[in-house]
A and B are shown apart, each in its own frame.
Chain A
């Protein structure tokens, strides 16, 4: 018993010392959203996200039948509302999402695809606390229907084609400058004058939201 107490006290002292060093270092250098979340943060966040889904939703299957028009509607919805952070291909490589803490997840990977339809719906409707994911639901049937169609599109993301993502680019929210760039690119490829030069899509996309 005495030995156990000594070991526990030793561990505690080491942890407190390490914590003090980190605290002093953190206070001195600060911390930013450029950091990558630690493994324990990821585990805790995912556990909390699971618990955040109402129990009656977790095991629900998508009530909206999957049809080509539903998928097309969801694709347009995703391009307009979600791609700013998640990217048209859902890989989270869009400007805003790359700068968030935590980063927007790659929706095509197993960590997301393994979630139930109900969990995905809950995340879209209610958001995820302490992340950049807002709750898009407003409690109406229309909002719920839109979120369920988005669940279909999230399931489709691992199979999305370059043609689809290219078509979605036209539906993404754009600043006047980005519209101009898009038209310049189209005009250039159609044989128009070579007036435009390089651009930085992420910078302009980010600026549009500030």
Chain B
């Protein structure tokens, strides 16, 4: 009897579960057009679209040579490669090049 109850209980619990779908990891390339505090910046992607990129404490900031960078180093005009996190809402990493030299 106990075995039967145990098996039934396992079956009952084992086949129930929530459905979840994995997201897609998008990469965007472009140039920074506006800084918006610590939590976001705007960029124009290489295909001409304006994009607002949300950042968080878990966002990694890197230079083009993969050395660590600080968010404060991001400037308008800098080229960036942004890899989005799996939630598709915040940036997982932002790799930045130096902004173009001004005359």
User: Hey, which bits of chain A sit against chain B, CB under 8 A?
Assistant: 8, 11-12, 15-16, 18-19, 22-23, 26, 31-32, 34-41, 44, 93, 95, 98-99, 161-163, 165-167, 181, 184-186, 188-191, 194-203
Whether A196 contacts B29 by the Cβ 8 Å rule is yes
Whether B67 contacts A40 by the Cβ 8 Å rule is no
When distances are taken between beta carbons in the complex, the residues of chain B under 8 Å from A202 are 22-25
Whether A199 contacts B27 by the Cβ 8 Å rule is yes
User: Hey, which bits of chain B sit against chain A, CB under 8 A?
Assistant: 1, 4-5, 8-30, 45-47, 60-62, 64, 66-68, 79, 81, 83, 85-86, 93, 95-97, 100
Q: Once the chains are docked, how many angstroms separate the CA of A15 from the CA of B19? A: 23
Q: Once the chains are docked, how many angstroms separate the CA of A189 from the CA of B81? A: 8
Whether B62 contacts A166 by the Cβ 8 Å rule is yes
| 9 closest cross-chain pairs (CB), A and B | A162-B60, A98-B22, A166-B66, A15-B8, A189-B64, A35-B17, A189-B97, A201-B25, A197-B47
Whether B16 contacts A188 by the Cβ 8 Å rule is no
A14 vs chain B, min Cβ distance (A):
9
Whether A163 contacts B66 by the Cβ 8 Å rule is yes
When distances are taken between beta carbons in the complex, the residues of chain A under 8 Å from B29 are 184-185, 188, 194, 196-198
B38 vs chain A, min Cβ distance (A):
17
Whether A189 contacts B12 by the Cβ 8 Å rule is no
Pick from B20, B26, B79: contact of A189, CB under 8 Å: B79
Whether B17 contacts A12 by the Cβ 8 Å rule is no
A125 vs chain B, min Cβ distance (A):
28
A128 vs chain B, min Cβ distance (A):
17
